[in-house]
Amino acid sequence: MSNVLDQVVEVFEPMPELVSIMTDAGSKAPVMLSIDIGTSGIRAAFFDERGAEIHGSSARTNRLSPGVTDFSTSDADALRLQVIQTIDATLVEAQFLEATTRVELIAVSCFWHSLVGIDESGQATTPVLGWADNRAAAAVSDLRSKLNEQWVHARTGCRMHPSYWPAKLLRLRNEEPEVFRRTTNWLSFAEYLTLHLFGECAVSVCMASGTGLLNQRTCEWDQEMLEALDVSVESLPEIASPSKTFHRLTPDYAERWPQLTGARMSPAIGDGAANSIGAGCTSNDKVALMIGTSGAMRVLFAGEPPARVPPELWSYRVDRTRVIVGGALSDGGGLYRWLRESLLPNDDAEFIESELARLEPDAHGLTILPFWSGERSTGWNADARGAISGLTSHTRPIEILRAAMESIAYRFALIATALEPLAPGATIMASGNALRSSRVWIQILADVLGRPVTLCQEAEASMRGAALLALEAAGKIQSIAEFSVPVETVFEPTMSHHVRYQDGLARQQRIYETVIK
């Protein structure tokens, strides 16, 4: 895992116009630290009590070195070190705040679905097994032969798939029995980090809902799934109460970060939920569309999970009063990056974007199945792999890249169709670093969907979303729904392009049905 240890930390200069945020009484004003642990990078920044990021207080650590595309597993302690270094860098950048503020809260957004085992001493017995680890495909078949997947989906909100805990646990039991026996507890990386920082851990309903082991209606571990896996509830983390916080750093970290010794940390939430909140999508009149390393399209609303979750989609919890339903693509910006580095290594981003813009919609003669990292929504086929059809001796690398971007947009169109009954006519709000770096891609999405796509102004939606939810839980704000996100640009669809793309989508589906199904 040497690549994981290659640290690239970006820091941002304080803005000169930042003014003092002292309270009227002259005491130190409370601020919060928000941390987003994503697939490709870790970001942290300080926020005020209204959920506004304090300029000049942020830092980022890249998890993946240039050329690295395998993010299916990570070394647990190397990843923990990266989070620690990111907090270090953020505190250095935010030194200008120390005289006027105190850190009162810590919020964390972390990638969903990861699994890491620990032994009695709290040391990792496995790597961090991420959503892209597809080794449990055989275990999925075993689970489907023993359990009614439709009933499991209705209770847990999750399909049988290698990205979720049931298949991962079954694979470990079958293929790594000694590791399985040595493991006393199963956590996500978020709880592993919390355990090392605070000496205790509990899992949020939000993070637990992405495991495939939580009963979404009772907000308790699903007994039928545990019995089928022969996993005890004692080996799983406690499900946190709504008021749960961690407030006493272990001695080593208290000494390292004296600025944080008075802060309370909320249990981490899933990055997808945080992203939707940070993008202003807190009710079913807005749908969040995000492309980072992977991709997702989601609707968040108050209430209980749908009586029937469409088979193309998943259903998770944001908290005990809110639900988030959507679809996820395993390939998004990660596939774009792989193709660009493989096919166009010497061209800069601006030139590539201009060349992409010159190409007509679906004019390359290619059909791509974008499953380099496997398939989640919509077919949930654990054995799906990527394919390019239509290559000729005249095909140019830029055409392959454009075709891949269109192919991902086609998969979003299928998710959008499945989501429509839950969010009829909703505004589509786009976010994610991959989309922010390619306006051509956003226009492709608008044209494929045949609907306007709004790019929100919030560049770090997940970090902001985690901050807002923690502020609400602490009673600092009344509701996350109070906060809207400024619009940067609205991309209107070109309907003549939409018609052409319908042919491309139909062609992709025909090949999908032949090759994958």
The residue among 469, 393, 408 whose CA lies nearest residue 438 is 408
* pLDDT confidence of residue 494: 98
Q: Which residues contact 147 (CB under 8 A, 6 or more apart)?
A: 160, 224, 225, 228
* pLDDT confidence of residue 304: 95
pLDDT at 54 over 50: yes
pLDDT at 15 over 60: no
Q: What is the DSSP letter of 283?
A: S
Tokens representing 193?
Answer: 């980090």
Residue type, 402: R
Q: Which residues contact 388 (CB under 8 A, 6 or more apart)?
A: 366, 367, 368, 400, 403
Average pLDDT over the chain, rounded to whole? 93
* pLDDT confidence of residue 3: 34
* pLDDT confidence of residue 69: 54
Residue type, 149: E
| Domains, the chain, with CATH or none | 2-269 (3.30.420.40), 281-457+486-517 (3.30.420.40)
Identify the band that residue 1 occupies on the pLDDT scale cut at 50, 70 and 90: very low
Taking residues 150-166, report their average pLDDT: 97
DSSP assignment of 230-263, as one string? Answer: T--GGGSPPBPPTT--B----HHHHHH-GGGTT-
Helix (H/G/I), strand (E/B), else coil: 88: helix
CA angle 448, 452, 453 (to 5 degrees): 85
* pLDDT confidence of residue 65: 53
Tell me how far apart the alpha carbons of residues 197 and 81 are, in angstroms, rounded to a whole number: 11
pLDDT at 334 over 70: yes
Identify the band that residue 462 occupies on the pLDDT scale cut at 50, 70 and 90: very high
Tell me how far apart the alpha carbons of residues 51 and 171 are, in angstroms, rounded to a whole number: 42
Q: Which residues contact 360 (CB under 8 A, 6 or more apart)?
A: none
Rg of the chain in Å (alpha carbons): 22
Tell me how far apart the alpha carbons of residues 354 and 70 are, in angstroms, rounded to a whole number: 28
Query: Dihedral (C-alpha) 103, 109, 114, 118: value to the nearest 10 degrees?
Result: 10
Please answer whether residues 246 and 203 qualify as being in contact, where contact means their C-beta atoms are separated by less than 8 angstroms.
Answer: no
Alpha helices in 424-494 (DSSP H): 433-436, 439-449, 461-473
* pLDDT confidence of residue 23: 40
Tokens representing 14?
Answer: 């304080």
pLDDT digits (tens, 9 = 90+) for 396-449: 999 999 999 999 999 999 999 999 999 999 999 999 999 999 999 999 999 999
Tokens representing 227?
Answer: 């019995």
pLDDT digits (tens, 9 = 90+) for 70-84: 668 999 999 999 999
Identify the band that residue 7 occupies on the pLDDT scale cut at 50, 70 and 90: very low
Taking residues 195-208, report their average pLDDT: 98
Identify the band that residue 329 occupies on the pLDDT scale cut at 50, 70 and 90: very high
**What is the maximum span of the chain, computed from C-alpha positions, in angstroms?**
73
CA angle 5, 13, 60 (to 5 degrees): 25
Please answer whether residues 298 and 288 qualify as being in contact, where contact means their C-beta atoms are separated by less than 8 angstroms.
Answer: yes
Tell me how far apart the alpha carbons of residues 105 and 112 are, in angstroms, rounded to a whole number: 22
Taking residues 113-142, report their average pLDDT: 96
Taking residues 95-113, report their average pLDDT: 96
Strand partners, 464: none
Taking residues 131-160, report their average pLDDT: 95
Tell me how far apart the alpha carbons of residues 140 and 310 are, in angstroms, rounded to a whole number: 19
Please answer whether residues 130 and 77 qualify as being in contact, where contact means their C-beta atoms are separated by less than 8 angstroms.
Answer: no
Please answer whether residues 47 and 31 qualify as being in contact, where contact means their C-beta atoms are separated by less than 8 angstroms.
Answer: yes
The residue among 117, 157, 152 whose CA lies nearest residue 225 is 152
Identify the band that residue 86 occupies on the pLDDT scale cut at 50, 70 and 90: very high
* Whether residue 378 has a cis bond before it, omega within 30° of 0: yes
Q: What is the pTM of this model?
A: 0.92
pLDDT at 249 over 80: yes
**Cβ atoms within 10 Å, residue 489:** 12
Tell me how far apart the alpha carbons of residues 314 and 237 are, in angstroms, rounded to a whole number: 22
Tokens representing 53?
Answer: 């990021």
* pLDDT confidence of residue 243: 94
Identify the band that residue 63 occupies on the pLDDT scale cut at 50, 70 and 90: confident
pLDDT at 517 over 90: no
Strand partners, 221: 214
Percent of the chain with pLDDT over 70: 93
Q: Is 393 exposed, middle or buried (0-12, 13-18, 19+ CB in 10 A)?
A: exposed
Alpha helices in 124-233 (DSSP H): 137-146, 149-156, 165-175, 177-182, 189-198, 205-208, 223-229
Backbone angles phi, psi at 279, to 5 degrees: -90, 5
